[in-house]
């Protein structure tokens, strides 16, 4: 991938995260990427085309970070906890990325929303290992969707309120939301308290 194309994609993520998808223009993206209109239209047909490519890039970046932060040999609970912690950290460090990923994608049309949903489905694949913890219990088939919905709802609220920097402080609650469908409120509360102790200690 040429560096100019990547600069345009990164610029799209930043500008949309700051201004919103609807208010973002191709001129804004070109200015942010410090490149030319000719270069933009060499790579993309229009704003929407560029946004979809930027979203795909963003999703890959986030998942790469999550996978890099998780050791496949760890028990499921540690793995998903570390994965969620990394997502929260990324979002807090880059609020524009977070808003683009979670909030603004909804404004970019049905195909963008489908990409967001596909990303949520990938996250739920991470979570499906939790079914083993419920050995002997019948869990609904779409339990991972409930878990992902609970987590993304809380994150969405904070981003809508412009409080991306508060997400790490919310990590204990997010962990509870993610784990409770699998392990129940007592065990999820225990994990939440452990995470809260770590958060205070930082």
Partner 1 sequence: MAPAAGAPPPAAGGDRALPAGAAAGGDDPRRRGQGLRGDDGRRPDQGGGDLRTTFYELFADKEACFLAAYDNVVDVLVRRIGAAYEAEESWPERARAGLAELLAALAEEPALARLALVDVGAAGPAAQRRYRAAVQRLTPLFEEGRDFAPGGRELPANTSRMAIGGVAGLLSDELVAGRAAELPGLLPDVLFATLNPYVGPAAAAREVAKETS
At its nearest, how many Å lie between partner 1 and the CB of residue 70?
22
Name the token pair of 24.
């973002």
At its nearest, how many Å lie between partner 1 and the CB of residue 92?
17
Burial group, residue 19, by CB count within 10 angstroms (0-12, 13-18, 19+): middle
The site for partner 1 (CB under 8 A) is made up of: 20, 22, 103, 105-109, 113-114, 117, 120, 134, 137-140, 142-143, 145-154, 157, 160, 172-173, 176-177, 180-186, 189, 192
Among 141, 145, 200, 194, which Cα is nearest to 168's? 200
**Nearer residue to partner 1 within complex by CB, 26 or 145:** 145
Report the distance separating Cα 178 and Cα 202, nearest Å: 22
At its nearest, how many Å lie between partner 1 and the CB of residue 127?
12
Report the distance separating Cα 90 and Cα 84, nearest Å: 10
At its nearest, how many Å lie between partner 1 and the CB of residue 62?
18
**Nearer residue to partner 1 within complex by CB, 25 or 114:** 114
């Amino acid at each position: 991938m040429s560096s100019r194309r990547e600069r345009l994609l990164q610029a799209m993520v930043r500008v949309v995260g700051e201004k919103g998808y609807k208010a973002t223009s191709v001129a804004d993206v070109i200015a942010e990427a410090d490149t030319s209109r000719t270069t933009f239209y060499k790579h993309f047909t229009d704003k929407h085309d560029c946004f979809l490519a930027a979203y795909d890039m963003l999703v890959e970046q986030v998942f790469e970070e999550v996978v890099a932060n998780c050791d496949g040999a760890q028990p499921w609970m540690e793995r998903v906890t570390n994965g969620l912690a990394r997502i929260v950290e990324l979002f807090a460090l880059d609020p524009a990325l977070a808003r683009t990923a979670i909030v603004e994608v909804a404004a970019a049309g049905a195909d963008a929303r489908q990409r967001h949903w596909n990303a949520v489905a990938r996250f739920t694949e991470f979570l499906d290992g939790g079914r083993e913890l419920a050995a002997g219990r019948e869990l609904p088939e779409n339990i991972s969707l409930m878990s992902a919905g609970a987590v993304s709802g809380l994150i969405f609220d904070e981003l809508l309120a412009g409080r991306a920097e508060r997400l790490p402080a919310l990590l204990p609650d997010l962990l509870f939301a993610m784990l409770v469908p699998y392990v129940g409120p007592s065990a999820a509360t225990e994990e939440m308290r452990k995470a809260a102790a770590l958060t205070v200690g930082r």
